[in-house]
């Protein structure tokens, strides 16, 4: 596995692979890899000739007072995990390499960013869309792999790639879970033992919402209230939102139909956790 830190080096490695006819598969990460990232790398390995991954904690997507400085980092461990997952090329740039001077050009994706995480973290998705667009432009992937756990991010990246005509297929891979249902996330390390025990209530709430839809409920407000009731059974968990929305646009429909996404976000002690599931509502 090659590890490079400059844009020039990684560009020349991916350009050479493309010139030789290879499909470049790309997994973007902020490091502190867990099973979720490894599953994205494995999916890329199964489908692409050259598997590239980036490890970069992107300051643009953290708001003032968020956990940028405290964000967990462990590059040697990340490199060992990436190599074991079959990654060929890791791009691990410094902040100075990515942003040598204050960035004046950013990518803003409207509408789909206005709700949910975008409402709580107003600058977050512009930071994500900007670094993802920059990394697509540097790496030139044919396929890129994102975790469904950050469903709104998947919607934002898909829309940005389509609107800006990046020739890349955005593949969404299933959320990896702990045996008790908690979605794997780098931020789970912040949970105390008590908070960790309470956190699976998010997944229980989603399962309950999905079961209500499967039992015939088509009113989004009723499904949302049912999910909120489950979250309220855990005193350590403070619900931010529980929503039943159209999967692609994240718009709240008058009646649930087609591809629906159930989303929850809650503070579990200090950490804020997200989770979601998809439900297909038969016509």
Estimate to the nearest angstrom the gap between the alpha carbon of 232 and the chain centroid: 26
* β pairing state of 169-173 and 50-55: unpaired
Alpha helix segments (H runs only) across 48-106 = 75-84, 95-98
Q: Work out whether 30 is an interface residue with ligand PAF (CB under 6 A).
A: yes
Q: Would you give the binding string for ligand PAF spanning residues 59-88, x where CB under 6 A is met?
A: --x---------------------------
User: For ligand PAF, which residue of 131, 133, 227, 279 counts as binding (CB under 6 A)?
Assistant: 131
Give the binding range for ligand PAF (CB under 6 A) out of 23-31, 97-105, 226-234, 238-246: 23-31
Count the Cβ atoms, other than its own, within 10 Å of residue 76.
7
List, in sequence order, every beta strand (DSSP E) within the chain.
2-4, 24-29, 50-55, 89-91, 143-147, 169-173, 237-246, 258-268, 272-281
Reply yes or no on whether 208 is catalytic: no
Residue placing its CB nearer to ligand PAF in the complex, 163 or 194: 163
Give the binding range for ligand PAF (CB under 6 A) out of 22-30, 74-82, 224-232, 251-259: 22-30
CA-CA distance, 92 to 110, in Å (whole number)?
29
Residue placing its CB nearer to ligand PAF in the complex, 14 or 54: 54
Shortest approach of ligand PAF to residue 164 CB, angstroms? 16
Number of helices and strands (H, E) in the chain? 10, 9
User: For ligand PAF, which residue of 150, 224, 234, 275 counts as binding (CB under 6 A)?
Assistant: 150
> For the range 67-73, what are the long-range contacts, defined as Cβ-Cβ under 8 Å and sequence gap of 24 or more?
67/187, 67/190, 71/30, 71/32, 71/186, 72/31, 72/32, 72/186, 72/189, 73/31, 73/32
Shortest approach of ligand PAF to residue 103 CB, angstroms? 14
User: For ligand PAF, which residue of 17, 28, 242, 273 counts as binding (CB under 6 A)?
Assistant: 28
Q: Work out whether 50 is an interface residue with ligand PAF (CB under 6 A).
A: no
Q: Which of 37, 124, 203, 208 is catalytic?
A: 37
Name the site residues for ligand PAF (rule: CB under 6 A): 28-30, 58, 61, 128, 131-132, 150, 153
């Amino acid at each position: 596995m090659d590890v490079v830190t400059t844009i020039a080096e990684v560009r020349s490695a991916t350009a050479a692979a493309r010139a030789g006819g290879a499909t470049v598969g790309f997994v973007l990460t902020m490091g502190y890899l867990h099973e979720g990232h490894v599953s994205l790398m494995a999916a890329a390995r199964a489908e692409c000739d050259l598997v590239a991954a980036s490890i970069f904690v992107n300051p643009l997507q953290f708001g003032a007072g968020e956990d940028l400085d405290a964000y967990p980092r462990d590059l040697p461990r990340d490199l060992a995990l990436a190599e074991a997952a079959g990654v060929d090329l890791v791009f691990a740039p410094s902040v100075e390499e990515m942003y040598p001077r204050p960035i004046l050009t950013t990518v803003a994706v409207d509408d789909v960013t206005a709700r949910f995480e975008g409402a709580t973290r107003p600058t977050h998705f512009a930071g994500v869309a900007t670094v993802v667009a920059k990394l697509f432009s540097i790496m030139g992937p044919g396929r890129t792999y994102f975790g469904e756990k950050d469903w709104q991010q998947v919607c934002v990246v898909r829309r940005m790639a389509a609107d800006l005509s990046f020739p890349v297929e955005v593949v969404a891979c299933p959320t990896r879970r702990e045996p008790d249902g908690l979605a794997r996330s780098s931020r789970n390390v912040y949970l105390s033992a008590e908070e960790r025990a309470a956190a699976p209530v998010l997944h229980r709430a989603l399962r309950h919402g999905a079961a209500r839809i499967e039992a015939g409920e088509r009113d989004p407000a009723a499904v949302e209230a049912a999910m909120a009731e489950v979250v309220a059974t855990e005193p350590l968990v403070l619900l931010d939102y529980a929503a039943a929305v159209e999967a692609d646009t994240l718009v709240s429909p008058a009646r649930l139909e087609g591809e629906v996404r159930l989303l929850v976000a809650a503070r579990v002690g200090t950490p804020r956790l997200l989770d979601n599931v998809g439900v297909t509502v038969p016509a």
